[in-house]
Amino acid sequence: MNFVSKRGLTAAILSTVFVAGAAYAEPTAEVLHWWTSGGEAKAVQALKADFEANGGKWIDNAVAGGAGDAAMTVLRSRALAGDPPAAAQIKGPAIQEWAKQGVLANLDKVAASENWDKVLPPAIQSVMKYQGHYVAAPVNVHRVDWLWVNPTVLAKVDGKIPTSWDEFNALAEKLKAAGITPLAHGGQPWQDSTIFETVVLGLGGPAFHKKAFVDLDEATLKSDTMVKAFDQMRKIRGYVDRDFPGREWNLATQMVMNGTAAMQIMGDWAKGEFLAAGKVPGKDFVCAPTPAPQGGYLSNVDSFAMFNVKGDDKVAGQMLFAKLLVGEKFQETFNLFKGSIPARTGVSMAKFDECAKASETALNAASANGTLLPSMAHGMSTTGSVSGAIFEVVTQHFNSTMSSQDAVKKLAEAVALAK
């Protein structure tokens, strides 16, 4: 532990943990996260730099693996062993589940001094609060329903950005006929489900997506529209390359970058990859919403919760960390790298690119007209056990010859069992 240094002094004043004559508890935070790809790592580096510049000591606990499945396994075992990290990336209804177990620290003090009730949109506040108290801090809003396209490859077949799934299929067939892999994909359950929920949104519309993945309505899960969604998944299975099983999402993004494939369906953390590789939006790559004639916006808010830990240095670290996360400057820097847009209001979008600006416009429109939806594939719409059950059916169907009729039957059964 360090004694008061110039840096420490600033932090001590900030976090008011300095006691005259006593050793200063250096704000320390072990941060568990899964941001290890090119763009993600740059974003997390910005987070670390901000924390350290404010006198914090950062202990990095990065657990690789897209969408955090591996990170969540580590978190559960650490929590079970009574040794949770000070801060962990968790989101959506999982925040409530952890809070219910009484293991999360109350962030109301920081929230009050930083005005979170004013600067955070109500829809985000409610995800961050448990029984009216803040237990998590949001860093961004990712849009999930994006199509990333290599325009040079598209031009080879004289293709246009598809605005319906029929157009998407026609384009994919054209690309295939020209010997080009239409879709870069990584065969991992969360990636299969990322595609699946964009198909469900596109074919069923926003109200249908909500009935299926928020309300978990049995009739909707078994409906003809859901049968059509699985039919579309079967088509998509024919548009990916042979080596798709197990591939990480960022390697799929690289296929679009280097022209090995024409498109990828992925949230805008993929844009973080393009940017980290020096690619320019509108020139080297194009972003467009996945085909959804009835509109909608699948949102995914990354956030951190602080776990109950002992030690003044750790508690000071948690409070400093929470405060910085929602700060204006930090949300600008972080999101410029991450591909997302700020979670808080009042951050200038001047430095953001056209994809981020389009995301913000679409987000505002969707929240105004009631088509803002929580992403199922990214843990925002339902519990981990229900989304896990959905993932399993979607992936089984994708990797077999299962009929769409059987798939919807299995889907409804699996959801009923898991909820």
- 269 makes contact with ligand GAL (CB under 6 A): yes
What phi, psi does 303 have (nearest 5°)? -150, 165
Instruction: Using alpha carbons, list the distances in angstroms from residue 343 to 137, 143, 270.
Output: 10, 12, 18
- 291 makes contact with ligand GAL (CB under 6 A): no
Nearest residue to 284 via CA among 144, 180, 149, 147: 149
Q: Contacting ligand GAL (CB under 6 A), which of 114, 302, 313, 353? A: 302
Q: Contacting ligand GAL (CB under 6 A), which of 142, 143, 397, 410? A: 142
Crossing angle of helices 249-257 and 269-276, rounded to 10°: 50
- 194 makes contact with ligand GAL (CB under 6 A): no
Provide, rounded to whole angstroms, the least separation between the CB of residue 88 and ligand GAL.
13
| Number of amino acids touching ligand GAL (CB under 6 A) | 11
Provide, rounded to whole angstroms, the least separation between the CB of residue 205 and ligand GAL.
24
Element (H, E) at 380: none
Provide, rounded to whole angstroms, the least separation between the CB of residue 378 and ligand GAL.
4
Let me know: does 104 contact 307? Beta carbons within 8 Å.
yes
Provide, rounded to whole angstroms, the least separation between the CB of residue 375 and ligand GAL.
8
Residues 6+ apart with CB under 8 A from 224: none
* Burial class of 107 by CB neighbour count within 10 A (0 to 12, 13 to 18, 19+): buried
Alpha-carbon torsion angle 189, 190, 192, 194, nearest 10: 170
Instruction: Give the interface segment with ligand GAL, choosing from 33-41, 168-176, 220-228, 311-319 (CB under 6 A).
Output: 33-41
- 344 makes contact with ligand GAL (CB under 6 A): no
User: Which residue matches tokens 């009923």?
Assistant: 416
- 34 makes contact with ligand GAL (CB under 6 A): yes
Instruction: Give the interface segment with ligand GAL, choosing from 18-26, 60-68, 164-172, 230-238 (CB under 6 A).
Output: 60-68
Nearer of residues 151 and 384 to ligand GAL, judged by Cβ: 384
Provide, rounded to whole angstroms, the least separation between the CB of residue 252 and ligand GAL.
11
Residues 218 and 200: their CA atoms lie apart, in Å, by 15
Q: Contacting ligand GAL (CB under 6 A), which of 143, 314, 378, 397? A: 378
- 141 makes contact with ligand GAL (CB under 6 A): no
Residues 161 and 154: their CA atoms lie apart, in Å, by 8
Site residues (vs ligand GAL, CB under 6 A): 34-35, 40, 66-68, 142, 269, 300, 302, 378
